[in-house]
Structure 1
């Protein structure tokens, strides 16, 4: 199974369209969205082609292949317009005999990691900064942001296949990777 991870779309139809192109080229099975789907957020600038209605249209066309969690900029009204649930604080996926704990990062984060088994994977967004590391027998992963990267990082997404998590830029180039 090949999983495609994005976070922090923040209403940008431009960057979502680029990410969807990569999803299709990667031939991934599912899109995992780690929150902040439609709204740009009061602290953020308006992103390129800020168009939540277009983002809704694009995401709804892939609704049967999306697993999503709530970001700090997401609300119940957003879920009413999307054809898939987004209001869960976290989700889990069993992958290759380990748990992938998926969350946005504003509630559960590196300072508040839920109880996980050695070898499990904690995957979050929110910081807009790619991160791949092993810490105290857990894997800590952040695919970065497709729309508003921080700290001079490129616009990125994540791919998980064969127990290798790769963060790639929106041109498909490997930026970072970790094997578990």
Structure 2
């Protein structure tokens, strides 16, 4: 059984196209989406339509919550709040009410079972869409924040930096970001899990796409914060 976990698309439909093509070439059986579909991207509606066409399980991320109700005080630095809400308003202007309702209805976690293998998947932590657990946090922090529920694999997103750790015989996996990586590598990221009768293989896959084309789209648009987003894409860093 081959499973793909994708997340943090952030309206980058070009990156999502490339990832979905790669997934098809690898004969993946099932795709799961861990949130942040539209916000901070130049093609929010097309990205959402591509996700919905998968007919797969999709959960909510913090950026989906922002699209629904706006960015709240204390959720981002004060100096960024006004601009990020302007970005949110631009994203909403590209969507219709059905899109907003779809985001509202998303659950916040997945509990999956494949034979003897159990997977707990969520966007940031099981209890929060916003809490940050980084790649270099200790095993103790990961255990406390991510591994409260019994499972064999724990998969999350949110930080845009893919990694795989083993803690006490369990996998902790971050699938990175399809549309807005922060680890310095200008390639889309997703997680591939291959479950066989007596083995589990986990890998984070990086996929090339035309980053320069997306940067040009931002620069030629009326997106409120296009210079920042173009810079993040160009450097793959926040």
TM-score band w.r.t. shorter chain: 0.7 to 0.9
RMSD in angstroms over aligned alpha carbons?
2.5
2: distance between equivalents of 1:85 and 1:68? 11
What's the CA shift for 1:143?
1.4
1:16 is the counterpart of 2:16: yes
1: distance between equivalents of 2:103 and 2:31? 12
What's the CA shift for 1:51?
0.8
User: Stretches of 4+ moved more than 3 A in 1?
Assistant: 75-80, 82-86
What's the CA shift for 1:80?
3.9
Q: Which residue of 1 aligns with 2:165?
A: 133
Aligned length in residues: 160
1:97 is the counterpart of 2:129: no
Contact 1:30 1:67 in 2 (8 A): no
Structure 1 length-normalised TM:
0.77
Q: 1:12 to 1:165 in 2, by over 3 A?
A: same
SS in 2 for 1:74: helix
1:122 is the counterpart of 2:112: no
Bigger radius of gyration, 1 or 2?
Answer: 2
1: distance between equivalents of 2:50 and 2:146? 32
Structure 2 length-normalised TM:
0.60
2: distance between equivalents of 1:121 and 1:71? 19
Which among 43, 49, 52 is matched to residue 60 of structure 1? 52
**Which protein has the bigger strand share?**
1
SS in 1 for 2:64: coil
2: distance between equivalents of 1:6 and 1:101? 14
